[in-house]
Amino acid sequence: MYEVALGYMVGSAASLLLFRTWIKERIVEGTLDMLINEDYIRSFIDDDGVTQLAKLDEDIVDREISPEMWEHFERALNELKEETEESEEDDTP
């Protein structure tokens, strides 16, 4: 009975030692794939063909903001400024 338990423990330890790199790679690969799929991390392929990762708050150099998008941002900022100015005026008793 002890031989079976000892054989199981030795076999488990040997398999972990032999396959630890493969296991780590699978865990990291699965985690990165999940983060990319959930849009927590962006990925893109650079000029050399290497996949690069960027957090959502980092800018990706290959993508530039169009002038139309800047105009949209400026309009939204102006609306926010107007709303805050109006709300500050309304706070008086």
- Provide the pLDDT for residue 62: 47
For tokens 């927590």, the residue is 40
pTM of the model: 0.40
Q: Considering all CA atoms of the chain, what is the largest pairwise distance in Å, rounded to the nearest integer?
A: 85
Note down pLDDT in tens along the chain; length 93 residues: 889 999 999 999 998 888 888 888 889 888 888 888 887 787 778 888 888 887 766 555 445 667 777 788 888 888 888 887 776 665 555
Q: Which residues of 84-93 are buried (b: 16+ CB within 10 A; e: fewer)?
A: eeeeeeeeee
Q: What is the rounded distance in angstroms from the CA atom of residue 8 to the CA atom of residue 19?
A: 16
CA atoms within 13 A on the CB side of 65: 9
- Provide the pLDDT for residue 91: 55
Q: Helix or strand or coil: residue 42?
A: strand
